[in-house]
Amino acid sequence: MVISKENKIHPTNGIVIRYKGAFDLDSLYKSVKSWFPDNNYDYYEKENTEKVKPQGNSVILKMNGVKDIDDYVQFRIDVIFEEVLRIKKLEKGHYSEIRAIIKAVMILDHRNKWKSYPFMFYLYNNIILKKKIMNYYWPKIYNEMMNLNSLIKSRLNLIE
Amino acid sequence: MKIKIDLLKEQKIKWEGIIDFGELYKYMKLWLEDNGYANERNLEQRYIERIKGDKKQYEIFWHGTKDKSEFFKYNIDVAILVLGLADVEVEQNGIKRKMQKASYEFKISSYIESTPLWDNLKGLHRIYYNLIIRKRIDDYLRELYGKSTGFHSYIKEFLGLRD
């Protein structure tokens, strides 16, 4: 496996969680939002859309977190709630449909210091730093991604 | 060399429904003024109102800026797009109020930028300041992050979106 500047940790389409049933979106949103600072990520909200529709409000949330591990490695985790459709209001939360996608990316040389030396950059990542990337950085971000996956699943009462 | 570091990149808030747009517009402006990012003259860079039948469309762009030091300034940009705005009458606590139904979109960006004074530094001056400033930039980024996400939350709160 060749290590490049941006390395996707997630499966090709991200980790996809689909759920249809009763849940509290506000509480799920708060848990995910606070997960980022709790894990030392800077939190950004790329999109927060809500549309009032006759069949129920439709919500799109695009959240992401960025963490500089050191001067060279940066982790980025995205959580996208696509078209949450709140069909029926319940006593707590809504009966809704949700599709959540989790993506994690490890970015090397995030300060672009090696930009002018692509061959050296390749050697550095694939020979000198490879062991540390595979044994330290990779498992670290993978575990964080799976931890977030478990959090979302637990909030939806899904099997972890 | 000019320094520009992006923080928030067009963070989007979109809401379709009924609000008092005039009030939101006023409060957003006041927030930027109160936090030193704007005054009445320099904030609004673009204000377009289009009338389409009985509905209106607005395209507004604000550029808020604040001097942090002699070498750096904070910037908060706001792009507002309002589509299909129509006046509706809503009764709140027994009082009839005129509000606006539309699709509202806000894009918030923030970044740190160096001033011309920094850009014109040369030789030893530049090396000296470079050593000091590099360390300070992280503090500046943290401060602007707090301010601009605070502004983002302020808009969401007004719209009744989760925060």
Measured distance CA(B117)–CA(B121) in Å, rounded: 7
Query: What one-character DSSP code corresponds to residue B26?
Result: H
Indicate the Cα dihedral angle B27, B30, B34, B39, nearest 10°.
160
- B64-88 pLDDT, tens digit per residue, is 999 998 889 999 999 999 999 999 9
The per-residue pLDDT for A87 is 67
Average pLDDT over every residue of B104-110: 96
Q: Does A45 touch chain B (CB under 8 A)?
A: yes
The per-residue pLDDT for B135 is 78
Q: Which residues contact B118 (CB under 8 A, 6 or more apart)?
A: B2, B3, B71, B72, B129, B133
Question: Do the Cβ atoms of B76 and B106 come closer than 8 Å?
Answer: no
> Which has more pLDDT, A90 or B5?
B5
Average pLDDT over every residue of A139-160: 92
Average pLDDT over every residue of B100-129: 87
Q: Does B149 touch chain A (CB under 8 A)?
A: yes
The pLDDT of residue B127 is above 90: no
Q: What is the pTM of this model?
A: 0.82
Q: Does B154 touch chain A (CB under 8 A)?
A: no
Q: Give B29→chain A minimum CA distance, Å.
A: 21
Residues of chain A found within 8 Å of residue B145, distances taken between Cβ atoms: 42
Q: Which of B39-43, B57-61, B117-121 has the highest mean pLDDT?
A: B57-61
Q: Which of B18, B25, B37 is nearest to B109 (CA)?
A: B37
Q: Give A142→chain B minimum CA distance, Å.
A: 25
Question: Which residue do the tokens 């980025």 mark?
Answer: A76
State ipTM.
0.74
Tell if the CB–CB gap between A50 and B12 is shorter than 8 Å.
Answer: no
Q: Which residue of B has its CA nearest to A111?
A: B5
Tokens of B140: 């500046």
- A73-107 pLDDT, tens digit per residue, is 999 999 999 877 776 667 777 788 889 999 999 99
Q: Which residue of A has its CA nearest to B156?
A: A48
What are the sequence ranges of the domains in chain A?
A: 6-155
User: Which amino acid belongs to residue A111?
Assistant: R
- B150-160 pLDDT, tens digit per residue, is 999 999 999 98
